[in-house]
């Protein structure tokens, strides 16, 4: 008989304590009139200080943060933006919102982040920016990306939605790009239910964002004097209040994420032909999602593996698929379909699965999930 969990173990889940609840209630009571932005200001200040950037602006979600990043630099029709082929669609969809063309390149099969050699090969006179994603908490090769961006005069946009708490050469995720974006969706390392942040050190870009996220008004405008047609991308005080509580606990939360990965690695690290999230010497990985990639010898793809996990009441997620292969990007003009996808990165997108990585997973659960996975893999050989 199959050993299964008593109830379905969810793949993700937040850490919400009395602090988050109390701060949200405080905002619901008090964040009105002249105090309406108090919680947002505090959240933004704390966030910028933690990331190590000069400015942070709270927005409704990371998708908006990326849209604002592109719009603030004036990227638009006729421009190309290089992005990884393997990421959540929100990393790339905003390129189309501003009328620019996404140019997909392969990921590195070990870090799972954008491959700098392919970035370089994809640059044309129309290229304006590179979006690099710190996937599942892993860090992109920022030294190379910075060097390429500077040499070709390109804007470097960091999608750090999955990487709060990770570091690269001691610098925090979100401080490596010219501008960066975060998500506080319920599944992410810190959450405000839905929410996002856009970060930069550039005062002019920050001023552009302030205007663009509030219908083209100057901050503090009381006369309804819109200077341009823009967007409405603001976060509510109740969300910001939850964000403050999460940021007061950020060190504890990142430690917990790393602990969870350690529990899994203790059981799975020596399984032959099974790769886990990578952490090179110059990186601290905050392991947003513990991820396993069985190699070809196991003869099991991500969807089959997920089904077998589900039989044991273990929820999971498939590794992101190649975006350029999705129906969403079919027949769109200008998008390159001739990217060179290595066999190794195909193994990652074909076989990779994210294991339960929420805060409700304790050591016993991680051990149970690991044993179940090993049994499934042994049966599939």
Residues that bind ligand PLP (CB under 6 A): 61-63, 87-88, 90-91, 133, 159, 161-162, 183, 185, 196
Could you tell me if 156 and 132 are in contact, meaning their C-beta atoms sit under 8 angstroms apart?
Answer: yes
User: CB of 155 within 8 A of CB of 130?
Assistant: yes
CB of 180 vs ligand PLP, minimal distance in Å: 11
- Evaluate whether 20 touches 246 at the Cβ level (below 8 Å): yes
* Cα–Cα dist 74/376, whole Å: 50
Distance of CA 250 to the CA centre of its chain: 16
CB of 127 to ligand PLP, least distance (A): 21
In degrees and rounded to multiples of 5, residue 270 shows phi and psi of -105, 10
CA gap 378, 381 in Å, rounded: 6
CB of 183 to ligand PLP, least distance (A): 3
Q: Residue 358 Cβ, how far from ligand PLP at the closest point, in Å?
A: 15
Using the minimum distance from each CB to ligand PLP, give the nearer residue, 218 or 326.
Answer: 326
CB of 61: closest distance to ligand PLP in angstroms? Answer: 3
* Shortest Å, Cβ 159 to ligand PLP: 5
Strand order in the sheet with 167-168: 171-172, 167-168, 283-284
Residues near 72 by beta carbon (within 8 Å), at least 6 away in sequence: 179, 205, 208, 209, 212
Whose Cβ is closer to ligand PLP: residue 64's or residue 300's?
Answer: 64
Least separation in angstroms between CB 160 and ligand PLP: 8
User: Which C-beta is closer to ligand PLP: that of 87 or that of 180?
Assistant: 87
Pick 94 or 377: Cβ nearer ligand PLP: 94
* In the complex, least distance from residue 182 CB atom to ligand PLP, rounded to whole angstroms: 8
Provide the minimum distance between the beta carbon of 266 and ligand PLP in the complex, in angstroms, as a whole number.
26
Distance between CA 264 and CA 362 in Å, rounded? 10
User: How many Å from the N-terminal Cα to the C-terminal Cα in the chain?
Assistant: 20
Helix spans in the chain (H)? 18-30, 38-51, 62-72, 93-97, 116-122, 142-152, 203-212, 237-248, 250-268, 302-311, 343-351, 363-380
Nearer to ligand PLP, 238 or 376 (CB): 238
| 3-state helix/strand/coil string of 320-342 | CCEHHHCHHHCCCCCCCCCCCCC
Shorter beta-carbon distance to ligand PLP: residue 133 or 361: 133
Nearer to ligand PLP, 128 or 185 (CB): 185
Q: Which is nearer to ligand PLP, 69 or 300 (CB)?
A: 69
The answer to whether residues 298 and 377 touch, using CB atoms and an 8 Å cutoff, is: yes
> Residue 168's beta-bridge partner residues?
171, 283
Give the Cα separation of 36 and 201 in Å (integer).
25
Q: What is the DSSP letter of 133?
A: E
Residue closer to ligand PLP by CB (options 198, 372) is 198
């Amino acid at each position: 008989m199959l050993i299964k969990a008593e109830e379905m173990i969810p793949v993700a889940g937040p850490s919400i304590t009395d602090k988050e609840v109390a701060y949200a209630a405080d905002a619901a009571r008090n964040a009105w009139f002249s105090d309406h932005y108090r919680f947002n200001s505090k959240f933004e200040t704390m966030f910028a200080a933690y990331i190590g950037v000069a400015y942070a602006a709270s927005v409704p979600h990371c998708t908006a943060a990326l849209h604002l990043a592109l719009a603030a630099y004036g990227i638009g029709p006729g421009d190309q933006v290089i992005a990884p082929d393997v990421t959540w669609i929100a990393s790339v969809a905003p390129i189309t919102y501003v009328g620019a063309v996404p140019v997909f390149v392969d990921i590195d099969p070990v870090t799972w982040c954008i491959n700098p050699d392919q970035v370089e090969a994809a640059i044309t006179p129309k290229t304006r920016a590179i979006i690099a994603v710190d996937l599942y908490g892993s860090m992109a090769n920022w030294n190379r990306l910075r060097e390429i961006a500077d040499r070709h005069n390109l804007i470097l946009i960091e999608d750090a939605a999955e990487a709060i708490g990770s570091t690269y050469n001691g610098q925090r995720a979100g401080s490596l790009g010219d501008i960066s974006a975060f998500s506080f969706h319920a599944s992410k390392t810190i959450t405000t239910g839905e929410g996002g942040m856009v970060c930069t050190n550039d005062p002019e870009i920050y001023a552009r964002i302030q205007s663009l996220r509030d219908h083209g008004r100057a901050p503090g405008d009381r006369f309804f004097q819109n200077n341009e047609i823009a967007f409405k991308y603001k976060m509510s005080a109740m969300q910001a209040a939850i964000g403050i509580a999460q940021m007061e606990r950020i060190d504890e939360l990142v430690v917990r994420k790393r602990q969870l990965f350690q529990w899994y690695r203790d059981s799975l690290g020596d399984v032959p032909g099974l790769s886990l999230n990578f952490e090179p010497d110059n990186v601290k990985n905050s392991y947003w999602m513990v991820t396993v990639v069985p190699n070809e010898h196991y003869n099991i793809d991500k969807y089959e593996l997920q089904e077998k996990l589900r039989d044991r009441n273990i929820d999971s997620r498939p590794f992101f698929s190649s975006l350029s292969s999705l129906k969403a990007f079919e027949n769109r003009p200008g998008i390159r379909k001739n990217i060179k996808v290595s066999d190794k990165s195909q193994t990652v997108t074909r076989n990779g699965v994210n294991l339960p990585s929420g805060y409700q997973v304790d050591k016993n659960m991680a051990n149970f999930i690991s044993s179940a996975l090993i049994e499934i893999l042994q049966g599939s050989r």
